[in-house]
Amino acid sequence: PPKPAPPTGKKVAVIGSGPAGLTVAGDLARLGHSVTVFEALHKAGGVLTYGIPEFRLPKNIVEKEIEYVKKLGVKFELDSVIGRIKTIQELLEEGFDAVFIGTGAGLPYFMNIPGENLNGVYSANEFLTRSNLMKAYRFPEYDTPIKVGKRTAVVGGGNVAMDAARTAKRLGAEHVYNIYRRSRKEMPARIEEIDNAIEEGIELVLLTNPVRILGDDKGNVKGIECIRMELGEPDESGRRKPVPIRGSEYVIDVETVVIAIGNGAACRQTEAWISDVLSQELAGRGIAYVIVNEAGASVYSTGPVGREEFPHLDAALRSAVSIGRRLQDPLSELVKIEPCSIGVGMYQHDVKARHLRASLDDVVASCVNFVGVDLNTASPALLRYVSGLNQLTAQRIFEYRQAHGPFKCREELKQVVGIGESTYVQAAGFLKITGGTNPLDATWIHPESYPAAERILARWGLTPAALADRTKVAALAESLAKTNLPQLAKELGVGELTLGDIIAQLSRPGRDPRESLPQPVFKRGVLKLEDLVPDMELRGTVLNVVDFGAFVDIGVKWTGLVHVSQLAPRYVKDPHEVVAVGDTVQVWVREVDRERRRVSLSMVSPQERAELEARRRRPHVLAGGTAGHGPPPPRSPRPA
Ligand SMILES: Cc1cc2nc3c(=O)[nH]c(=O)nc-3n(C[C@H](O)[C@H](O)[C@H](O)COP(=O)(O)OP(=O)(O)OC[C@H]3O[C@@H](n4cnc5c(N)ncnc54)[C@H](O)[C@@H]3O)c2cc1C
């Protein structure tokens, strides 16, 4: 290991020795801080040691990592559950200057079905820990028993379920069923993990969900009752929702059940904590928070673009910078990541990667060209999507800028190696320069239209310099709005469409079309289901759009549904006409079903709804009246 920096005299306590704790401990020790790791279990390594089985991650690799951290001077205190042996406050009082909490997401989910407390039912965490860490497979030589029996059922479709199923097989189960409620295509486990499991003889029992676990008179598992499922409409995760088929229940005889349906990652708890801090310690300071999608941040931070932009930063810090920048200018940041890595839902796995890439590239290019790019600040990743440019020319523009300083005018682009006349003509209109020698370069007017733009300005007694003066631009815009477009087009000898574009640009030079979009949702506190009342107005973010409506995150744990009939005060055939994933929308609460934890929302305001109702009730007037015209009332919702 590298020699640590000279001691800083600072002491840090790290709670948990999983990958998070080990990374923090190692990095801080290298900076010269004195670090102690407190680990609840008798062995360090977290899930790498007790969760992931040996056949997938040999333990000597994990041990080498731990040894490396120890050589940097980090001390380990095992069998130390913080919160039990001492509190964080006590650690601080003992002289630790900072505490890092890296305790993982170890709280397993259960299905809440009858029989989960029978002997022979394990969470995957417990099952794998008993096997990996406690060496239960060598019982009675080791103290911890593990019950596998001849037939084992593992419930869940992720990597953890695959690990548990393959472990059960290795522990001697003759037959292992892997029960999953959706189809194979939807299994979240990596394809090779599923293939490996099948090769080892694991039986996939797909489109099936357990309804109860059956026990014998001694309280031991003797079977698992399941119901067959069919795939219905997509839910908020983008995957088709499994729906039970009535009367299809049947029993699989098993002696062991392992439940591997995920662990809590404590995201909502973290949000609740931030919300508490804002309302208590930081009350009255007007601080709000916003949740930014982190999809693909690690792809950026460990890829060539992240490494090049921040060669001296750790990957985790690069990710943090990328997530922060997404709030400032999402487009400029997200173009640095392959669009496939920012996918929503599972559909990207169903199409050919080559086709997906080409079609996503087209979408990104059209977004970039629609917004336009600042030639003097854009990264090569953004420039390469500009019409006429490619990776090489984008890189050359970037290098030219580094060698010669900012571009002073669009014409200067032609000085860049590889940018000939035709590339210039294609690209120039999408690249703007603010503060350059020609004010028209700060607008989205193409250089070919400069003479026409100058003639228009001259007609109002102005020169391009006026575009930098807000009052002059406002007066010009007002006057241009009254212009007879066809007549002016004829006089100037330009097409009406081009003239319309020029006028729009002269009226709002260099306008960013995103300015008119809704702002991101800044929150001040977490809402509970109990806080929601009908007609309450909220802002939310669209998580997914399906044919019966849109799922909207309104900051409550349970995502709300805007049914298609509630998307607009008119008939909507396809929800995609009205909303898209990521849109910020204004919604009103319609109904809250506390028992089933369902929130139904509307994008039609209560006033609009009342007006529509009134219009519907008004008697029909045959002549001169308006009855029967206007938007039809919202349709009654179909069950979701
Ligand atoms: C079976 C399985 C297979 C997986 N396969 C993969 C894979 O193939 N690829 C992949 O990228 N990820 C995989 N993961 C996920 C990955 O292991 C986790 O994302 C990762 O381990 C999280 O690291 P962490 O340091 O945050 O937490 P953890 O690894 O959970 O470590 C937290 C540590 O904190 C300790 N701790 C908790 N509370 C206290 C306390 N109060 N005091 C002291 N110590 C405490 C725990 O004992 C534990 O050692 C898998 C997970 C499982 C369970």
- What fold characterizes domain 108-264? FAD/NAD(P)-binding domain (3.50.50)
CA of 463 to the centre of ligand 1 (A): 65
Mean pLDDT throughout 389-396?
Answer: 95
Tell which atom from ligand 1 comes closest to the C-alpha of 190: 8
Does ligand 1 come within 6 angstroms of the Cβ of 118? no
Domain residue limits, the chain: 11-104, 108-264, 293-351, 439-516, 529-617
pLDDT of 354 over the 90 cut: no
Question: Which pLDDT belongs to residue 358?
Answer: 85
Topology alike, domains 11-104 and 108-264: yes
Say which CATH architecture domain 11-104 belongs to: 3-Layer(bba) Sandwich (3.50)
Mean pLDDT throughout 205-224?
Answer: 93
Tell which atom from ligand 1 comes closest to the C-alpha of 160: 1
Does ligand 1 come within 6 angstroms of the Cβ of 51? yes
Assign 384 a pLDDT band (cuts: 50, 70, 90). very high
Mean pLDDT throughout 156-167?
Answer: 93
Does ligand 1 come within 6 angstroms of the Cβ of 120? no
Q: Give the angle subtended at the CA of 527 by the CAs of 523 and 533, to the nearest 5°.
A: 120
Among 210-219, 314-323, 346-355, 549-558, the minimum mean pLDDT is found in 346-355
Assign 235 a pLDDT band (cuts: 50, 70, 90). low
3-state helix, strand, coil in the chain (%, to 5): 40, 20, 40
pLDDT of 623 over the 50 cut: no
Question: Which pLDDT belongs to residue 565?
Answer: 92
pLDDT of 239 over the 70 cut: no
Q: Which of the four CATH numbers 1.10.150.120, 2.40.50.140, 1.20.120.530, 3.30.70.260 does domain 529-617 have?
A: 2.40.50.140
Distance of CA 196 to the CA centre of its chain: 29
pLDDT of 266 over the 90 cut: no
CA of 20 to the centre of ligand 1 (A): 8
Asked, as a colleague might, if the bond just before 140 is cis with ω within 30 of 0, I would say yes
Contact 568, 515 (CB under 8 A): no
Place of tokens 């029978």: 118
Distance CA 61, CA 46 (A): 13
pLDDT of 339 over the 90 cut: no
Q: What percent of the chain has pLDDT over 70?
A: 91
Assign 142 a pLDDT band (cuts: 50, 70, 90). low
Assign 261 a pLDDT band (cuts: 50, 70, 90). confident
Question: Which pLDDT belongs to residue 206?
Answer: 96
Would you call 433 helix, strand, or coil by DSSP? Answer: coil
Ligand 1 binding pocket mutation candidate from 47, 159, 259, 298 (most atoms within 8 A of CB): 47
| φ, ψ at 4 (rounded to 5°) | -65, 155
In angstroms, the Cα distances linking 437 to 356, 415, 468, 502, 553 are: 42, 16, 12, 20, 47
Does ligand 1 come within 6 angstroms of the Cβ of 20? yes
Give buried/exposed letters for 164-191 (b at 16+ CB in 10 A, else e): bbbbbbbbebebbbbbbbbbeebbbbee
- Give the up-direction half-sphere exposure of residue 386: CA atoms within 13 A in the CB hemisphere: 29
CA of 57 to the centre of ligand 1 (A): 13
pLDDT: which is higher, 295 or 630 = 295
Place of tokens 């759009």: 545
Ligand 1 binding pocket mutation candidate from 36, 54, 103 (most atoms within 8 A of CB): 103
Question: What's the mean pLDDT when you consider all of the chain?
Answer: 86
| φ, ψ at 345 (rounded to 5°) | 75, -165
Q: Which of 490, 489, 509 is nearest to 499 (CA)?
A: 489
Among 39-48, 110-119, 204-213, 348-357, the minimum mean pLDDT is found in 348-357
Protein residue closest via CA to atom 22 of ligand 1: 104
